[in-house]
Amino acid sequence: MSLILDGKSTSKKIESQLTERVKKLKSIREQPPILATILVGSDPASATYVRMKGEACKRIGMDSLPIFLDASTTTEQLRAEINRLNEHPDIHGILLQHPVPSHIDERACFDAIDPRKDVDGVGCLGFGRMSMGLDAYGSATPQGIMHLLSAYDLRLSGLHAVVVGRSPILGKPMAMMLLEADCTVTICHSRTQNLSDMVATADLVVGAVGKPRFIQETWIKNGAIVVDAGYHPGGIGDIELSETLKERVRAFTPVPGGVGPMTIATLMLQTVIAAERVLLNH
Ligand code: NAP
């Protein structure tokens, strides 16, 4: 019997612990943690993600400050908005929803976020610190995956992890987190040769490709741990998660209900930590 890495129930447990922490914070300082969310443009999927993050804030008793900017916003205007939030004493976390319109320098804007408020873990400084094993807010999706693996006490040390995808907010930080957890890590990307052979050597495979059911079930070895970060319309991921695959692997994340809820729970957790640091001098 393989293990279902249930992100939905795990995120609920995290949320209920966060609800208590927020309650305590509010009773001591009469001030809730506040997450500012910035959406540039009107991409419907991004708008949905921002709304879901605002709803999660509400569920745990936190406030959110949604900021909607026109699609024509320039890099300089967006940086100015981020700077305003950096300096705002009541804002504890800042989320800039990815992707921003292509004329904006997204990296410059991510890096404009004060590292103390970069609760989505998108800045270069945080990435570097995390990679060095220092304290930093991890990129929310891979950090959520690490929380999920740890919730099921899966021993990662010594495993060969194959991460398919190398994006700055998912594949690359995922690889560094698994390295920090003492995995031997292979990172694959669009120029990788013999991808199926690479995946076949994985004790743990992470699908972070952005192409529906791209990683085929026949590539994956028996007993592997299968983590699917992909999400596409119709509730399918980047991995061909057939019933036979589910039976012959050691553990797998369902889609939906695996990685997605953990991303949001991790964003909430990191915002609460950021608020505790300011409000309780932790
Ligand atoms: P992305 O920026 O498009 O990156 C995709 C990566 O896949 C790139 O590194 C690319 O390689 C690689 N790739 C593309 N074609 C490939 C191929 N034929 N063989 C091997 N590698 C290939 O995507 P992303 O933002 O990382 O997102 C990846 C997936 O995760 C998407 O399905 C997205 O919806 C999902 N996601 C989910 C959450 C969540 O909260 N659940 C959050 C973020 C993303 P190159 O670098 O060589 O181009």
Give the span between the Cα atoms of 167 and 177, in whole angstroms: 14
214 alpha carbon – ligand 1 mean position (Å): 11
Average pLDDT score over the chain: 97
User: Could you tell me if the CB of 261 is within 6 A of ligand 1?
Assistant: no
Residue nearest to atom 30 of ligand 1 (CA): 230
Does residue 13 belong to any structural domain of this protein?
Answer: no
Could you read off the pLDDT of 68-86 as tens digits, one per residue? 999 999 999 999 999 999 9
Sorting pLDDT into bands at 50, 70 and 90, what band is 60?
Answer: very high
Q: Where in the sequence is the domain holding 61, given as residue range(s)?
A: 29-115
* Residue 281: per-residue pLDDT: 84
Q: In this structure, are 150 and 255 located in the same domain?
A: yes
Catalytic residue flag (residue 97): yes
Does residue 123 belong to any structural domain of this protein?
Answer: no
63 alpha carbon – ligand 1 mean position (Å): 31
* Residue 129: per-residue pLDDT: 98
* Residue 216: per-residue pLDDT: 98
Does residue 181 belong to any structural domain of this protein?
Answer: yes
Catalytic residue flag (residue 53): yes
Give the span between the Cα atoms of 107 and 123, in whole angstroms: 8
Catalytic residue flag (residue 120): yes
| Cut 0.75: pTM above it | yes
Report whether 254 contacts 6 (CB < 8 A): yes
CATH number at residue 253: 3.40.50.720
Which of helix, strand or coil describes residue 153?
A: coil
Could you read off the pLDDT of 214-246 as tens digits, one per residue? 999 999 999 999 999 999 999 999 999 999 999
Please give the C-alpha separations between residue 177 and each of 121, 137, 182, 219, 223, in angstroms, as whole numbers. 13, 12, 9, 24, 22
Please give the C-alpha separations between residue 239 and each of 142, 195, 232, in angstroms, as whole numbers. 16, 13, 11
Does residue 266 belong to any structural domain of this protein?
Answer: no
* Residue 278: per-residue pLDDT: 95
Could you read off the pLDDT of 25-59 as tens digits, one per residue? 999 988 899 999 999 999 999 999 999 999 999 99
Whether 116 has a pLDDT exceeding 80, the answer reads yes
Whether 282 has a pLDDT exceeding 80, the answer reads no
Q: In this structure, are 149 and 254 located in the same domain?
A: yes
Strand partners of residue 67: 38
Q: In this structure, are 182 and 87 located in the same domain?
A: no
Q: In this structure, are 169 and 226 located in the same domain?
A: yes
Q: In this structure, are 162 and 242 located in the same domain?
A: yes
Number of folded domains in the chain?
A: 2
